[in-house]
């Protein structure tokens, strides 16, 4: 029987590509806030599998709870949770940012992700084999100027993933944190608040990761034999690597 996968943030980028990749072999619950897109994606994917679309904001805890509680019985046996919905807002230094942006990132990338996981753990635990795939980021391990709270939210995702593994040892649930580097999706458009030109600059004269690359990793991880748990995958485009630490020579 086909497993049922719930993918948050399936209206674009990694989430959308993952939904497409899993459609042949999984039943899908796709989520996001943009209802028109969700309906169109549901219509397209329905040629391949059964699809349920749920339109809600994962930072709205009451609404999220209601949506998960009301999942119809035929989609209720979720055994794959892909915690993908998330965002970065701004690239200004910490003293220049709008605090509301920090709050939005924390509410979505941390609270929303933890809440959804908490809501679905009992269901996941009941299935013979389950997977939680968290989409973290290299920003959770490697700091960069302007990464301030975004990187910190992804550091939470990394440690939460490891701690989940510790708690879930001996259960049917596996946990993996996938940590992508530079990838071309709507991510930069969101980060720069709709400024398409600025977003395009990020990917100029280089070959970034594409959404499909991450979708392939997700599928590969959840299709490992039951005795294998991939704890984390850090993945960058070949054109990206670490730089040297900076030193301010003006300081005494
Ligand atoms: N692209 C990169 O370079 C990169 C690198 C490392 C990690 N990541 C991470 O990868 C994940 C996916 O990002 P992406 O690159 O695919 O960006 P994207 O194209 O902007 O997709 C983000 C998805 O998250 C959903 N989303 C955002 N806030 C939400 C909220 N409050 N409630 C429900 N859904 C929400 C969006 O849907 P709606 O707008 O319809 O709600 C959209 O489907 C994110 O967690 C991001 O931090 C991205």
Q: Is 23 helix (H, G, I), strand (E, B) or coil?
A: coil
Ligand 1 atom closest to residue 182's alpha carbon, by position in its atom list:
3
CA 192, CA 88: separation in Å to the nearest integer?
9
Residues 189-232: pLDDT tens digits?
999 999 999 999 999 999 999 999 999 999 999 999 999 999 99
How many CB atoms are located within 10 Å of the residue 135 CB? 28
Asked if residue 1 has pLDDT above 90, the reply is no
Residues 174-187: pLDDT tens digits?
999 999 999 999 99
Residues 45-73: pLDDT tens digits?
999 999 999 999 999 999 999 999 999 99
List of domains in the chain: 3-235 (3.40.50.720)
Ligand 1 mutation target, pool 7, 10, 11, 13, most atoms within 8 A of CB:
13
Residues 6+ apart with CB under 8 A from 104: 59, 87, 89
CA-closest candidate to residue 175, choices 190, 159, 189, 186: 159
Measured in residues, the chain has a length of 252
Residue 150 among the catalytic residues: yes
Contact assessment for residue 185 and residue 211, using Cβ atoms and an 8 Å cutoff: yes
Residues 135-187: pLDDT tens digits?
999 999 999 999 999 999 999 999 999 999 999 999 999 999 999 999 999 99
Ligand 1 atom closest to residue 38's alpha carbon, by position in its atom list:
40
Q: Is 187 in the pocket of ligand 1 (CB under 6 A)?
A: yes
Which pLDDT band, with edges at 50, 70 and 90, does 252 fall under?
low
CA 248, CA 46: separation in Å to the nearest integer?
56
Q: What is the mean pLDDT of the chain?
A: 98
Q: Is 53 in the pocket of ligand 1 (CB under 6 A)?
A: no
**Which pLDDT belongs to residue 215?**
98
CA 6, CA 41: separation in Å to the nearest integer?
14
223 torsion bin: left (phi>0), alpha (psi -120 to 50), beta (else)? alpha
CA 10, CA 17: separation in Å to the nearest integer?
8
CA 235, CA 51: separation in Å to the nearest integer?
29
**Which pLDDT belongs to residue 130?**
98
Give me the torsion for CA of 10, 81, 56, 199, rounded to 10°: -40
Residues 6+ apart with CB under 8 A from 65: 115, 119
Ligand 1 mutation target, pool 133, 185, 189, 190, most atoms within 8 A of CB:
185
């Amino acid at each position: 029987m086909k497993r049922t996968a719930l993918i948050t943030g399936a209206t674009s980028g990694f989430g959308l590509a993952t939904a497409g990749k899993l459609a042949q072999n999984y039943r899908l619950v796709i989520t996001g806030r943009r209802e028109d897109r969700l309906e169109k994606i549901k219509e397209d994917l329905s040629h391949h599998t059964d699809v349920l679309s749920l339109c809600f904001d994962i930072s709205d805890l009451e609404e999220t709870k209601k949506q998960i509680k009301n999942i119809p019985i035929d989609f209720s046996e979720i055994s794959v949770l892909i915690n993908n919905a998330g965002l970065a807002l701004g690239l200004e230094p910490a003293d220049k940012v709008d605090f509301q942006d920090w709050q939005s990132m924390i509410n979505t990338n941390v609270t929303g992700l933890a809440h959804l996981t908490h809501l679905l753990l009992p269901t996941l635990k009941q299935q013979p084999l389950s997977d939680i795939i968290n989409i973290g980021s290299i920003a959770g391990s490697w700091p960069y100027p302007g990464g301030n709270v975004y990187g910190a939210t992804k550091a939470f995702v990394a440690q939460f993933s490891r701690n989940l593994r510790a708690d879930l040892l001996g259960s049917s649930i596996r946990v993996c944190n996938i940590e992508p580097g530079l990838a071309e999706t709507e991510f930069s458009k969101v980060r720069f608040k709709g400024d398409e030109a600025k977003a395009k600059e990020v990917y100029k004269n280089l070959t970034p990761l594409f959404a499909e690359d991450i979708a392939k990793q997700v599928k590969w991880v959840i299709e490992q034999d039951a005795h294998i748990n991939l704890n984390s995958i850090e993945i960058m485009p070949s054109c990206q690597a670490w730089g040297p630490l900076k030193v301010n020579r003006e300081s005494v």
